[in-house]
Structure 1
Amino acid sequence: MATRPDGLLDEIISRLLPVNDLNMHILEAGDPSLPLVILLHGFPELAYSWRKVIVPIAQMGFHVVAPDMRGYGQTTSRTAPSFPIRFEDDLGPFRVINIVRDVVALVFALGYTSVASIVGHDMGSGVAALCALIRPAMFRSLVIMSTPFPGPPPLLFKVDPVKPPPSPLNIFSPEVKVQLAALDPPRKYYVPYFAGEDANRDMMNAPRGLHAFIRAYYHMKSADWPLNEPRPLDSPDPAKVAELPHYYMMPLEATMPQAVEPHAPSADEVAANTWLTERELAVYVSEYGRTGFQGGLNGYRAYQPQYFQELQIFSGQKIEVPAMFLAGKQDWGVFQIPGALDRMKSQACSNLAEEDLVLVDGAGHWVQQEKPERTVLELKRFFAKVSIQ
């Protein structure tokens, strides 16, 4: 039986559903006979991150379902020990293609064969985009939030025996690591750190405790942190991307708790926060305190080239269904990978109108939590435009 997270509206149901090898925890609202909308969270989030928008979307005339993704929250494995997930455990179930399979299986488990719209935020945005890329007849429209989808990893169009194949993620290359470490001051990129063996232990043993760490991390990536003034980066050169804030370009010797702690909110800032109250934060602290972060971190591990390259089978394929990109105007995630936003518009999506590339002022990375009303308005506009009822 699922534990109902604190602070949910009465209209939201919390339950477990057998999906593939999982007992998947979902939050849902709306009549199950209505068209389906699926909401996929990111890291370090939960289905709970959609709590402020589930009911308003359902009131548009949809059955809305937000799962705890594999490795998160109350979703557990029925075939292997679930928590704590260890770094040395089999990474196979966390491969991106298998997470897409989880979503497809969820659709069928709910009794549907098509989805009116799939909406993904942060790490969930890539999964949602791949769902629409691979199964366009099932996923009839797409909303990508906060993290642009630049398309599947490329293959060489014409083989050159001298030129090596392009690396889908050179951020893991030893050369980039050395270049960042040689900067003054030296840096490291957060993705390889999250994919490494130390990240879970570092965060679970944050010097001021889990509550203080999660509060600082959410604060620093939100519009509440005044230094979030994102802009396009004109080069992938390490010296240029080192301009990213410390939650992306970390000091070389710092853990993630150490990187964000100097920018933690004051007591007055915490008291003034209405988009993530102490009561709501306690849900995240409780769940991650119980499960650890490794399940979510495995998503970063699975984006390493040796696991990511299987997606090259889709190289050159575009997302044809109607698409929208929605993010906070104060979200550095929009620009953290130079050129990704432009590639999403010009190459990855063939049906993404300029009017559907929306940056919400006053929101950082957690746009559906920081600005839920505006998020709902934009979704309503997009759904009406593409006639997904």
Structure 2
Amino acid sequence: MERIRHKMVNVNGISMHVAEKGEGPVILFLHGFPELWYTWRHQIIALSSLGYHAVAPDLRGYGDTEAPTAISSYSCMQIVGDLVALIDSLGVEQVFLVAHDWGAIIGWYLCLFRPDRVKAFVCLSVPFMPRKPQMKPVESMRLFFGDDYYICRFQEPGKIEAEIARYGASNVLKKIISSRKPGPPCMPKDNAFGIKPDTPITLPSWFSEEDLSYYANKFNKKGFTGALNYYRAFDLNWEQTAPWTNTQVKVPVKFIVGDLDSVYTTPGMKEYVNGGDFKRDAPMLEEVVIMEGVGHFINQERADEINSHIHDFIKNF
């Protein structure tokens, strides 16, 4: 870990923290919620040793990267703007893209808006979700999954932040990372994260107390508002992407998901991924990998296998 380099880069009007290692073709790694560049620690070490320049930023609102206050600062246009500026700062025309969770959502937007900047995309956990013009996404989620659906619960500024403060960042992070409950995540009003003070939370074998401490220290310093604002910009993204309705993603893609992932086990998702609609929306989708017995945080839980999957795909380009 000490061999990973760290720097600050000015991109799109903000200061962004970037972790990097190695020389060669650039692999850009995008983390999700509630994570940091650090989620890619295993991939950075492994892929840099294979002749690649591994680059993993803290996305805006996270870690040591600037966190603007306005929800509108977290739209897909702003985040993709950060990434294009970051790619420019690296002095390359194209990157290999590897992304997970919210990073994957932003990765799909990058591929949609600027396919010229992406050689190939290894997407973890979240498939492309085409814009549905009939209804705004948060309204649609509320209709399908109810008010307690986690994205609906994240909408009101300050409310979920107060619940996180009640239990402490470390306990909340531990609960999220250790959860393996399939299906759409719901958060009851009385105890959003299901934390019981008299019931200890056991970390999974692939995530140490040292890892948890790194995450918790950064979130205690930064807070969660920037990270939660990505969810609060869902409807804004829907509004801004109206010109791209029914547009296909024309980038070579490999999609990998765990069969226990809460995204994959959400009603309708398996049918979308495996039934042909995903391939229709992303016609250059070359491979779908369903990993058995694996939860959401796939790049950490099965680091060696994910490293191999990434390299096996990108070496073809």
Q: What letter corresponds to residue 211 of structure 1 in structure 2?
A: S
1:263 deviates by: 11
Contact 1:14 1:25 in 2 (8 A): yes
Task: Provide closer, same or farther for how the CA distance between residues 192 and 12 of structure 1 changes in structure 2, counting only shifts above 3 A.
Answer: same
User: Pairwise mapping of residues 324-335 of structure 1 onto structure 2 (< 5 A)?
Assistant: 324-335=254-265
Give the whole-Å Cα distance in 2 for the aligned partners of 1:73 and 1:193. Answer: 23
Q: What corresponds to 2:8 in structure 1?
A: 16
Say which SS state the counterpart of residue 122 (structure 2) adopts: strand
Contact 2:104 2:124 in 1 (8 A): yes
Q: What letter corresponds to residue 123 of structure 1 in structure 2?
A: W
User: Pairwise mapping of residues 51-70 of structure 1 onto structure 2 (< 5 A)?
Assistant: 51-70=41-60
TM-score computed with the length of structure 2 as normaliser? 0.91
Task: Provide closer, same or farther for how the CA distance between residues 279 and 350 of structure 1 changes in structure 2, counting only shifts above 3 A.
Answer: same
Q: What corresponds to 2:113 in structure 1?
A: 134
| Aligned positions, number | 313
Task: Provide closer, same or farther for how the CA distance between residues 149 and 173 of structure 1 changes in structure 2, counting only shifts above 3 A.
Answer: closer
User: Pairwise mapping of residues 88-103 of structure 1 onto structure 2 (< 5 A)?
Assistant: 89-103=69-83
The one of 159, 174, 178 aligned to 1:215:
174
Give the whole-Å Cα distance in 2 for the aligned partners of 1:24 and 1:143. Answer: 23
Matched, 1:357 2:317: no
Task: Provide closer, same or farther for how the CA distance between residues 264 and 285 of structure 1 changes in structure 2, counting only shifts above 3 A.
Answer: farther
Task: Provide closer, same or farther for how the CA distance between residues 59 and 199 of structure 1 changes in structure 2, counting only shifts above 3 A.
Answer: same
Task: Provide closer, same or farther for how the CA distance between residues 216 and 137 of structure 1 changes in structure 2, counting only shifts above 3 A.
Answer: same
Q: What letter corresponds to residue 348 of structure 1 in structure 2?
A: D
The one of 134, 140, 161 aligned to 1:200:
161
Which sections of structure 2, spanning at least 5 residues, go unmatched? none
User: Pairwise mapping of residues 295-314 of structure 1 onto structure 2 (< 5 A)?
Assistant: 295-304=226-235, 306-314=236-244
Q: Deviations over 1:297-347 (max 9, x none)?
A: 00000002x442211211121111210111222212123252443576233
Matched, 1:147 2:126: yes
Give the whole-Å Cα distance in 2 for the aligned partners of 1:17 and 1:275. Answer: 31
Q: What corresponds to 1:112 in structure 2?
A: 92
Q: What letter corresponds to residue 281 of structure 2 in structure 1?
A: A
Q: What corresponds to 2:212 in structure 1?
A: 281
Give the whole-Å Cα distance in 2 for the aligned partners of 1:148 and 1:211. Answer: 29
Q: What letter corresponds to residue 8 of structure 2 in structure 1?
A: L
1:265 deviates by: 7.5
Give the whole-Å Cα distance in 2 for the aligned partners of 1:329 and 1:94. Answer: 30
Q: What letter corresponds to residue 28 of structure 1 in structure 2?
A: E
Q: What letter corresponds to residue 192 of structure 1 in structure 2?
A: C
Moved over 3 A (4+): 262-267
Task: Provide closer, same or farther for how the CA distance between residues 337 and 15 of structure 1 changes in structure 2, counting only shifts above 3 A.
Answer: farther
User: Pairwise mapping of residues 181-200 of structure 1 onto structure 2 (< 5 A)?
Assistant: 188-197=148-157, 198-200=159-161
TM-score computed with the length of structure 1 as normaliser? 0.75
Give the whole-Å Cα distance in 2 for the aligned partners of 1:14 and 1:123. Answer: 22
Matched, 1:256 2:192: yes
Say which SS state the counterpart of residue 56 (structure 2) adopts: strand
Q: Deviations over 1:143-190 (max 9, x none)?
A: 221112122x144xxxxxxxxxx1141x4259728x83xxxxxx6111
Q: Deviations over 1:22-73 (max 9, x none)?
A: 2110110111xx2111000000000011011111112222111000000000
The one of 167, 172, 183 aligned to 2:135:
167
Contact 1:330 1:362 in 2 (8 A): yes
Q: Percent identity over the alignment?
A: 27
Q: What letter corresponds to residue 25 of structure 2 in structure 1?
A: P
User: Pairwise mapping of residues 336-375 of structure 1 onto structure 2 (< 5 A)?
Assistant: 336=266, 338-339=268-269, 340-341=272-273, 342=275, 345-353=278-286, 356-375=287-306
Contact 1:319 1:350 in 2 (8 A): yes
Task: Provide closer, same or farther for how the CA distance between residues 358 and 167 of structure 1 changes in structure 2, counting only shifts above 3 A.
Answer: same
Contact 1:29 1:65 in 2 (8 A): yes
1:131 deviates by: 0.9
Q: Deviations over 1:275-317 (max 9, x none)?
A: 110011001110111111000000000002x442211211121
Give the whole-Å Cα distance in 1 for the aligned partners of 2:229 and 2:171. Answer: 23
Contact 1:96 1:308 in 2 (8 A): no
Say which SS state the counterpart of residue 42 (structure 2) adopts: coil
Task: Name whichever of 339-348 and 287-296 sits farther off.
Answer: 339-348
Which sections of structure 1, spanning at least 5 residues, go unmatched? 1-8, 77-81, 156-165, 181-186, 222-227, 231-243
Give the whole-Å Cα distance in 2 for the aligned partners of 1:121 and 1:249. Answer: 20
Contact 2:249 2:283 in 1 (8 A): yes
